[in-house]
Amino acid sequence: MAKVLIAYGSRYGSTEEIAHAMAGILERAGLETQLIDLRRTKQKQWPSIAPFDGVLVGSGIRIGRWTKEAIAFLKANAGEFKALKTKGLVVGAFVSSGMASTPGQEEEARRKYLEAVFAKLGMTGAVDTYDAFGGVYDLSPTAPMGFLDKRMLGMAAKQMVKDTGTPLKEGARNDLRNWDQIRTFAEHFVQLVKEKIALRDAE
């Protein structure tokens, strides 16, 4: 059975929910999937990517930045991603961001938060598929973040409504992720993994 690692860094839960949803899609497609929360797992306990047929790396975006743990995971494995690709490893990456929640800004989010990061880490060409998904504007009183982050999110939400007319409910959790987009991305990743395995087995 093909094995896939999903390694993610999530600050407030949006990316974690995406990672778990993807894991379900991969498992239903017959792939053995291991999830690792990079923020809650010490770096020395991060698994080697060598035993896997596919690796998906995801991160939330805050103030234009990945989580530091997800970036550290990319840096630690950048060379191995390239080396293992010659043996059939499939690499994917995704982010959950406010920019990708904004109509017409999805392509800019991919360029800024994915392609630019790959270029900086010397990983251009090492990632087979990537995408930027919308995020969650949690304006509810129970949002899992501190006062400053709640204030910043509230300001960003007001600006988004002003700029795009996107309706957001005050005092509520607004999920702006496109779950069809997420499912399509995961299914494409499954297809890539199965194609690489078929080619390897045919050699």
Q: What is the pLDDT along the chain (203 residues), one digit of tens a residue?
A: 899 999 999 987 899 999 999 999 999 999 999 999 999 999 999 999 999 999 999 999 987 899 999 999 999 999 899 889 888 999 999 999 888 888 788 999 999 999 999 999 999 889 999 999 998 877 778 777 777 677 776 666 677 666 666 777 787 778 778 999 999 999 999 999 999 988 877 76
Tell me the CA end-to-end span of the chain in Å, nearest whole number.
18
Tell me the C-alpha distance between 97 and 53, whole Å. Answer: 27
Residues of 33-53 as b/e, b for ≥16 C-beta within 10 angstroms? beebebbeeeeeebeebeebb
pTM above 0.85, yes or no: yes
Reported for 64-69, long-range contacts at CB under 8 A and 24+ positions apart, including other chains, are 64/112, 64/113, 66/9, 66/95, 66/113, 66/117, 67/9, 67/10, 67/11, 67/38, 67/39, 68/9, 69/9, 69/38, 69/39, 69/43
Of the candidates 144, 126, 130, the residue with the CA atom closest to the CA atom of residue 186: 130
Tell me, which fold does domain 3-135+176-202 have in CATH? Rossmann fold (3.40.50)
Integer Rg of the chain from CA: 17
Compute how many other C-beta atoms are within 10 angstroms of the C-beta atom of residue 188: 14
Provide CATH 3.40.50.360 ranges for the chain. 3-135+176-202
- How would you classify the pairing of strands 3-9 and 90-96? unpaired
DSSP symbol at 114: I
